[in-house]
Amino acid sequence: MTLTRRQVVELLDEHGLAPSRALGQNFVVDPNTVERIARLAGIGPGDHVVEIGAGLGSLTLALAATGASVVSVEVDRHLVPVLREVVESHGVSVVEGDARTLDWDQLLVAAEQWVLVANLPYNVATPLVCDLLDGVHAIARMLVMVQREAGERLAAGAGDPAYGIPSVKVSYWATARIVGRVAPTVFLPQPKVESVLLEIVRRPAPAVTADPARMFELVRAAFGQRRKMLRRSLAGLLDAAAFAAAGISPEARPEQLDVEAWGRLTDASR
């Protein structure tokens, strides 16, 4: 059971609401899409799921129908009463709050491991995913719907055109892959961009043992001048001996280095 396009429109009209452009709201109004997301999430009884940006509850209902325990977060105070009306009778716990400032330890206290499933607002998706990987280790897996370009950046490997700082961040903590595409027609309002479904699985331990603060200092400096060779963009941070010790050419550019290479370079810079 989930919401159809007609039901979403009726709920909005009944409560005098409209999607907020400022909050990046695009409601999913296609039952097949939300059921597909729930299926790809691989969740069921015994699983604990947290959803960000629940909106009116279309995806929420599909998640609850799997038998998983669902906590849904919504920042829009105008939507929260309607969301509660739609989903709480299905056993869903609704939390009003901003995912960027929540006390995640308190929110996820009920279980050691959680799955994040969400239709993320385009304007916060990339930094939010990176922040959750950095700071919320209870989230073991994610299946998130994001703008295609954002998904490609987060899932990119070394050498891919979309490879950048977020790609290295994801690779440090997890593995990522695009598992599906979503047409603009399933949303209300209909966005002008395509969306993808991105699966992220946290590693048991980070990909490298290098100091993360130092490593991402180098990553940010290098990608900040991504057209330059590393010996130029990292001048003052690394010397020729560090490149030699890491087995990396100082003429390389940042998009050529995978997370393991960044780890070697960081270790060599001590």
**Confidence label for 2 from pLDDT (cuts 50, 70 and 90):** confident
Q: What is the CATH number of domain 5-202?
A: 3.40.50.150
- pLDDT, one tens digit per residue, over 103-152 is 999 999 999 999 999 999 888 999 999 999 999 999 999 999 999 999 99
Positions of CATH 1.10.8.100 in the chain? 212-268
Q: Mean pLDDT of all residues in the chain?
A: 96
* Spatial contact of 141 and 115, defined as CB atoms under 8 Å apart: yes
- pLDDT, one tens digit per residue, over 20-77 is 988 888 999 999 999 999 999 999 999 999 999 999 999 999 999 999 999 999 999 9
Which one, of 76, 77, 74, lies nearest residue 59 by Cα? 74
* Spatial contact of 49 and 68, defined as CB atoms under 8 Å apart: yes
Positions of CATH 3.40.50.150 in the chain? 5-202
The reported pLDDT for the residue numbered 99 is 95
The reported pLDDT for the residue numbered 123 is 83
The reported pLDDT for the residue numbered 24 is 87
3-state secondary structure the chain: CCCCHHHHHHHHHHCCCCCCCCCCCCEECCHHHHHHHHHHHCCCCCCEEEEECCCCCHHHHHHHCCCCEEEEEECCCCCHHHHHHHHHHHCCEEEECCCCCCCHHHHCCCCCCEEEEEECCCCCHHHHHHHHHHHCCCEEEEEEEEEHHHHHHHHCCCCCCCCCHHHHHHHHHEEEEEEEEECHHHEECCCCCCEEEEEEEECCCCCCCCCHHHHHHHHHHHHCCCCCCHHHHCECCECHHHHHHHCCCCCCCHHHCCHHHHHHHHHHCC
Q: What topology is assigned to 212-268 in CATH?
A: Helicase, Ruva Protein; domain 3 (1.10.8)
Predicted confidence (pLDDT) at residue 1 exceeds the cutoff of 80: no
Predicted confidence (pLDDT) at residue 270 exceeds the cutoff of 80: no
